Amino acid sequence: MPDNIYKRVAFFSGQSIPLEMHKARMVQRIYLRHIKDRQEVIGKAGNNTFLLPNRDVFLDMLTDSGVNAMSEAQYAAMLLADDSYAGSETFYRLEKTIQEVFGTEYYLPAHQGRACENILANSYVKEGQYVVTNFHFTTTKAHITRLGGKIFEAVGEDAAKTVSSNLFKGNYDMDKFKSFVKETGVENIAFVRIEAGTNLIGGQPVSMANMREVSEYCRSQGLKLVLDASLLADNIYFIKTREKAYESKSLAEIVLEMSSLMDIIYFSGRKLGCARGGGICTASKEEFLRMRDLVPLYEGFLTYGGMSVREMEAMNVGIKETLDIDIVSQTPLFVEVLGSELEKKGVPVVTPYGGLGCHVDALRFVDHVPQTEYPAGALAAAIYLAGGIRGMERGTLSEQRNPDGSEHLSSMELVRLAIPKRVFSLSQIMYAADRIGWLYEHRHLIGGIKFSDEPKTLRFFLGTLVPVSDWQDKLVEAFLKDMPSGL
């Protein structure tokens, strides 16, 4: 792993500690429940961390979506919002920022990332057509398959390897991509999508060089290239710190260059911009017009797209702040701390460390739990038991069943411990590493889980499950021996 050049303030002691370039001026009280209460709570939540009430969660590492800490400048901007249904100044301010940051003339507002995916899928995907992507995201895939479309994934083999030295595991495998296009025919491909950074394979980035190759090939074939920029902040940080040619480029230059390679860019403003919204940007009037009419139909009038003007103001400032290295470096640096602390304790995590969060490899952590008993789901429940920490299953549970009803076993079984920007202190990160380290020493006690209620679509959100045995009782018992306070 290259030593990170953005640990800019060196400790005289030689310790490798990322220093926060912000201070907390408003905080939220959180509570750590007794382990017996945690067992009751996770049972009531159907062993699904999505269904845990936040009051019972100590460290909420479910996601960074909509829960990044906002800056004082974002809060201040919210007071200046121009609240009107049509033509608000707030919209024009946001549109201008998008034009400057992405260099795209047109911006369609939408209430969040999946709303953009709905508009994109409805505008471009015909039944039977493919969307080629480096790796799918849950909601992206659901919108495409709902319309009879199909997904082809063109990441390289390293992407599914949890241990790797490939610094850009999100990259397209160009040979795989090109032969798929040749076999399938351009007319059967609705669009090509790059998710940068990637979500489900562990926050892994895509290099600029790879995006350029994909773009040049798409342009030579007349294929439309779409960028999912939801995790852009992490990805531009990794381009700057891992891709030699970009070391001395500013983040603003990196975004503009990336943007020039794309036909359409969309994003979840719950991630990018640290607010709650989203949008689609394009330099092409033709693409803009093709999608435009769906915004008032599904989202709201063209100058708010389902967002409150206050959130739009916050997003406006948040997107500009994404160009500040001291702001975008915080998550990847904390991911690195959590990853390396866990590795010191032998816990298997995805490497190289990515953005978004630290990803624990459940296939290696609980290698005795079969994939049909959802090892990552079981581990996520166990992590809540061991520390009141809420992570997210990213494995077979997050997949859809095959059309014949059989399980679609995921290529990876991960528990994501998201690190929302500027939310947690370093001691909380150390606590998480400690409790997961404890759990690793007692991993043989962890068993599988099975559905008691399984929804047909996006089952991971609302499905409820039960343990296949009394393993949770045994785990609680062991915890109380080592931590008699139950905390």
Residues that bind ligand F0G (CB under 6 A): 63, 65, 112-114, 137, 139, 195, 199, 228, 230-231, 268, 270, 278
In what helix (H) or strand (E) does residue 279 lie, and over which residues does it extend? strand 278-282
Q: What is the DSSP letter of 155?
A: B
Active-site residue identified among 271, 276, 422, 459: 271
Residue among 356 and 381 whose Cβ is closer to ligand F0G: 356
CB within 8 Å of 241: residues ≥ 6 apart: 2, 4, 5, 6, 247
Residue among 81 and 206 whose Cβ is closer to ligand F0G: 206
Residue among 113 and 447 whose Cβ is closer to ligand F0G: 113
Residue among 391 and 448 whose Cβ is closer to ligand F0G: 391
Give min distance, CB of 195 to ligand F0G, in A: 5
Report how far Cα 296 is from the mean position of its chain's Cα atoms.
Answer: 27
Decide: residue 147, CB within 10 A, 0-12 exposed, 13-18 middle, 19+ buried. Answer: middle
Active-site residue identified among 138, 249, 364, 474: 138
Give min distance, CB of 458 to ligand F0G, in A: 11
Secondary structure of residue 281 in the 3-state scheme: strand
Give min distance, CB of 300 to ligand F0G, in A: 15
Q: What is the DSSP letter of 120?
A: H
Catalytic annotation present for 138: yes
Could you give the CA distance from residue 266 to residue 248 in angstroms, rounded to a whole number?
A: 27
Could you give the CA distance from residue 354 to residue 442 in angstroms, rounded to a whole number?
A: 27
Active-site residue identified among 91, 106, 130, 137: 137
Q: What is the DSSP letter of 112?
A: S
Give min distance, CB of 199 to ligand F0G, in A: 4
Question: Strands, E, within 164-252: which ranges?
Answer: 189-195, 225-228
Residue among 270 and 443 whose Cβ is closer to ligand F0G: 270
In what helix (H) or strand (E) does residue 387 lie, and over which residues does it extend? helix 375-387
Secondary structure of residue 61 in the 3-state scheme: coil
By beta carbon distance, the residue nearest ligand F0G is 113
- For 55, phi and psi rounded to 5 degrees? -65, -20
Closest CA to 137 of 154, 160, 156, 114: 114
Active-site residue identified among 64, 228, 234, 263: 228
Catalytic annotation present for 394: yes
Residue among 136 and 224 whose Cβ is closer to ligand F0G: 136
Please, are residues 224 and 218 in contact by the beta-carbon 8 Å criterion?
yes
Question: Strands, E, within 381-477: which ranges?
Answer: 389-390, 392-394, 414-418, 449-453, 464-467
Give min distance, CB of 232 to ligand F0G, in A: 10
Give min distance, CB of 368 to ligand F0G, in A: 28
Give min distance, CB of 455 to ligand F0G, in A: 17
Active-site residue identified among 11, 31, 36, 85: 85
Could you give the CA distance from residue 279 to residue 264 in angstroms, rounded to a whole number?
A: 11
Catalytic annotation present for 460: yes
Could you give the CA distance from residue 394 to residue 376 in angstroms, rounded to a whole number?
A: 7
Active-site residue identified among 394, 421, 422, 435: 394
Could you give the CA distance from residue 388 to residue 42 in angstroms, rounded to a whole number?
A: 10
Please, are residues 226 and 166 in contact by the beta-carbon 8 Å criterion?
no
Catalytic annotation present for 271: yes
Residue among 276 and 310 whose Cβ is closer to ligand F0G: 276
Active-site amino acid positions:
85, 137-138, 228, 271, 394, 460
